[in-house]
Structure 1
């Protein structure tokens, strides 16, 4: 069920991206319009898609899971504002925010309630922030980035906040 939700989320993000591409606004500060790839850290792996909607404004969708808790999946939507740094057009910094919905195994993320209620899964929503740096290669269609993405869940546990806060991405650009 969780894997099906992850695949459905990825398909939905691709559909939104395809529609957004038709509505393109001004030029992006990066030398690409849309990028799709993988985001990971030592504990997480997932998919990322970023699309510049107008000038330095971009939207990013994430769908990821925890290596140790493969039954868990989180879907995140972010707005990001980009600006050039280091005097090079290939380097961008970005910051923004958004929201997420997570489907978690209560035993992994909220053990005390799992012992009391004995319910296996739960759904929670929350708010996210993001700040990072990105480098886009000139001669190959690749963008790499590193970021911090702190979040807050409205309900449930946040026992793995330290594991999920940072990440690195590699994206194919087009």
Structure 2
């Protein structure tokens, strides 16, 4: 399964570069929900016709904590379909977790009740803007690295946003 995700990520990245024509999003700001490994609220605001800033406030049941993520994303039309866009980007996060659930099982002890995790995030996604009702639906893969644990992880999610 990990190999499939890695191959999908590389393929999507290649397709994103191939379809990197200047995109027109059709909306300025979107607010909605993100459901996946880390679920929560998402806000995306376009600063240019093909570039957006996305903020995600999510909770992780696995680590029992809250994470704030900020991403810079580039958008490009996908498959010559009106309203369908690829996006990719980079950013970072800060998370606040329960230390007893944050560390891996192979750690023999943990002294911290609370852990602050800081890290680097990437994102690769596909989004469709439904013009008749002002909503977007989409899916993304968000690899990230947490600095305290030194581990690399994958997050994937579906999202729905009201746009204006």
Indicate whether the TM-score tops 0.5.
Answer: yes
For the Cα contact (< 8 Å) 1:134–1:144, is it kept in 2? yes
1:130 is aligned to 2:94: no
Given the two structures, how large is their TM-score scaled by the length of structure 1? Answer: 0.74
Structure 2 segments unaligned to the other structure (5+ residues):
1-22
After superposition, what is the alpha-carbon deviation per residue over 1:6-61, rounded to whole angstroms, capped at 9, x for unaligned? xxxxxxxxxxxxxxxxxxxxxx71111000000011x4320000000012010000
1:170 is aligned to 2:160: yes
For the Cα contact (< 8 Å) 1:30–1:89, is it kept in 2? no
CA distance in 2, matches of 1:116, 1:35: 43
For the Cα contact (< 8 Å) 2:103–2:110, is it kept in 1? no
Given the two structures, how large is their TM-score scaled by the length of structure 2? Answer: 0.79
1:98-117 residue pairs with structure 2 within 5 A? 98-111=91-104, 116-117=109-110
For the Cα contact (< 8 Å) 2:41–2:56, is it kept in 1? yes
CA distance in 2, matches of 1:51, 1:61: 9
CA distance change for structure 1 residues 111 and 85 in 2, over 3 Å: closer, same or farther?
Answer: closer
For the Cα contact (< 8 Å) 1:82–1:94, is it kept in 2? yes
Alignment RMSD: 2.0
Residue 8 of structure 2 corresponds to which residue in structure 1? none
Q: How many residues align?
A: 142
Residue 34 of structure 1 corresponds to which residue in structure 2? 29
1:1-174 residue pairs with structure 2 within 5 A? 29-41=24-36, 43-69=37-63, 71-111=64-104, 116-156=109-149, 158=151, 161-162=153-154, 165-174=155-164
**Runs of 4+ more than 2 Å apart:** 111-118, 156-159
